[in-house]
Chain A
Amino acid sequence: MSAVRGLWQIFVNGLFESNPIFRLALSLCPALAVTSNVYNAFGMGMSVLFVITANNMAVSLTRKLINAKVRVPVYITSIATIVTVVQLVLEAYFPRLYQELGIYLALIVVFAIILARAEVFAAKNPIIPSMVDGLGMGAGFAGAMVLIGVIREVIGNGTILDIPLFGPNYAPALIMILPAGGFITIGLLIAFFNHLTEVRKQAREKLALQEGGETA
């Protein structure tokens, strides 16, 4: 039971506590370019989820074989191979997504988060926790991508997954699907999450203070 709970903790940690985009600000790189609509954002999120999980598992399996001095090149080669697999699969089965993601799909290789998880977590843990860590981080990343995608598509185009929401009279704020809107959306979201953390922290402190007072 406690083993399952430990795994759940790892998963939730990736999903919320250290959500890759809003918390660590790692790997915010080029992924943001494809969040101008929900479909692309979801596709990108799922690709990253797969790459990070598969790579964590590969690194965890081979962690005793890899010489520490050459570990980074080994990780990069492993990530690049998995990304190539994703590219080939998407090209074959989801040509539209493949077209729209363009070079950003290949750029998954250099997402700092994937290398960071391999180095920080997978290189030190057995395969199952590593897989769960990858799933949690990947899900957190995908969730954040979809959230940004929803905001940008709804405001910038008045649609979700190409389904119109507001009828024909809605004049979309085009700026939101342009790069400038992307930057501003993310800036506001980070501020929102900062605020949320601050409020929660204050509430916890207040609670701790009250409990402290009662015992005294």
Chain B
Amino acid sequence: MMEYVLLFLSTVIVNNFVLSRFLGLCIFFGVSKSLNASVGMGMAVASVMTVSSTLAWVVYNYVLVPFHLHFLTTVVFVILVACFVQLLEMIIRKFAPALYNLWGIYLLLIATNCIILGVPLINAESNYGFVKSVVHAFGSGVGFAFALILMASLRERLALADVPKPFQGLSIAFILAGLLALAFMGFSGMIPI
């Protein structure tokens, strides 16, 4: 049990996917302009990632490994994840229109995204077991949401600051993310893993 808690904490804060592995940057910089959108996006990513990684784990361990198709991992995962997100979008639109209005646009954005594809790949590469994979995927999603919400809060404050002209926009956002990553480095070494 302790092992899973440690893995969860390590993926959320120590090896945060955005700030230490550069995954999900497109969403991270695109969405963090608004705090509300960040909360919605964070929750959408966390839930989709958990389910799609579980699916990918099953396919990897019961189809790709037994038939020695490792070299197809990239192709299969991309198609699997993209199809899953599309399917999810259709189901939500049909059965929960209210939820679709809140989340629909985020689902479209994350259909082919580095972080959604990256987590199943890392799971497959590290040979994680089933529970470990799920915990890892959930932790990555929560970590992403955490970083996104922190960044959005910082950028709301930044809107009031007097930023020199060349630095406005993406440039200052990158430097801000760098400082955030610096702060997160304080956690490294806290969890031996």
Q: B54-62, B90-98, B117-125, B127-135: which lies at the A interface?
A: B117-125
The digit string for B145-181, where 1 denotes a CB below 8 A from any CB of A, is 0000000000000000000111111111111111101
Q: Which residue of B lies closest to A87 (CB)?
A: B74
| Cβ-defined contact, A115 with B22, below 8 A | no
Whether a CB of chain A sits under 8 angstroms from the CB of B112 is yes
Q: Which residues of B contact A195 (CB under 8 A)?
A: 166
Whether a CB of chain B sits under 8 angstroms from the CB of A216 is no
Query: Which among A31, A182, A184 has the greatest number of chain B C-beta atoms within 10 A?
Result: A184
Whether a CB of chain A sits under 8 angstroms from the CB of B84 is no
Contact of A192 among B22, B166, B182 (CB under 8 A): B166
Q: Which residue of B lies closest to A183 (CB)?
A: B178
Given the known interface contacts A77-B79, A103-B118, A179-B21, the answer about A83 and B166 at a Cβ–Cβ threshold of 8 Å is no
Q: Which residue of B lies closest to A103 (CB)?
A: B121
The digit string for B50-73, where 1 denotes a CB below 8 A from any CB of A, is 000000000000000000000111
Alpha-carbon separation in the docked complex, A125 to B77 (Å): 30
Contact of B22 among A33, A109, A184 (CB under 8 A): A33
Whether a CB of chain B sits under 8 angstroms from the CB of A198 is yes
| Cβ-defined contact, B178 with A187, below 8 A | yes
> By DSSP majority rule, is chain A's interface helix, strand, loop, or mixed?
helix
Q: Which of B20-42 contact A (CB under 8 A)?
A: 20-26, 29
| Cβ-defined contact, A28 with B26, below 8 A | yes
The digit string for A69-96, where 1 denotes a CB below 8 A from any CB of B, is 0000100110011011001100000000
Q: How far is the CB of A35 from chain B (nearest CB, A)?
A: 9
| Cβ-defined contact, A180 with B185, below 8 A | yes
Q: How far is the CB of A70 from chain B (nearest CB, A)?
A: 12
Contact of B171 among A32, A87, A178, A194 (CB under 8 A): A194
Q: How far is the CB of B20 from chain A (nearest CB, A)?
A: 5
Contact of B73 among A81, A106, A180, A184 (CB under 8 A): A106
| Cβ-defined contact, A110 with B174, below 8 A | no
The number of chain B residues touching the other chain, given as a range, is 35 or more
Whether a CB of chain A sits under 8 angstroms from the CB of B190 is no
Whether a CB of chain A sits under 8 angstroms from the CB of B9 is no
Alpha-carbon separation in the docked complex, A81 to B72 (Å): 9
Q: Which of B100-122 contact A (CB under 8 A)?
A: 112-114, 117-118, 121-122
Given the known interface contacts A29-B26, A191-B171, the answer about A83 and B114 at a Cβ–Cβ threshold of 8 Å is no
Alpha-carbon separation in the docked complex, A76 to B113 (Å): 12
Q: How far is the CB of A48 from chain B (nearest CB, A)?
A: 13
The number of chain A residues touching the other chain, given as a range, is 35 or more
Q: Which residue of B lies closest to A105 (CB)?
A: B74
| Cβ-defined contact, B166 with A76, below 8 A | no
Given the known interface contacts A77-B79, A179-B181, the answer about A84 and B71 at a Cβ–Cβ threshold of 8 Å is yes
Whether a CB of chain A sits under 8 angstroms from the CB of B137 is no
Q: Which residues of A contact B168 (CB under 8 A)?
A: 194
Q: How far is the CB of B139 from chain A (nearest CB, A)?
A: 17
Q: How far is the CB of A111 from chain B (nearest CB, A)?
A: 8
Contact of B23 among A30, A76, A190 (CB under 8 A): A30
**Residues of chain B whose beta carbon lies under 8 Å from any beta carbon of chain A:** 19-26, 29, 71-75, 77-79, 82, 112-114, 117-118, 121-122, 125, 164-179, 181-182, 185
**Residues of chain A whose beta carbon lies under 8 Å from any beta carbon of chain B:** 25-33, 73, 76-77, 80-81, 83-84, 87-88, 102-103, 106-107, 109-110, 112, 115, 175, 178-184, 186-188, 190-192, 194-195, 198
20 contacts between A and B (CB under 8 A): A30-B118, A31-B22, A33-B22, A81-B75, A83-B74, A84-B75, A87-B71, A106-B73, A107-B117, A109-B112, A178-B185, A179-B181, A180-B182, A184-B179, A187-B171, A190-B170, A190-B171, A191-B164, A194-B166, A194-B169
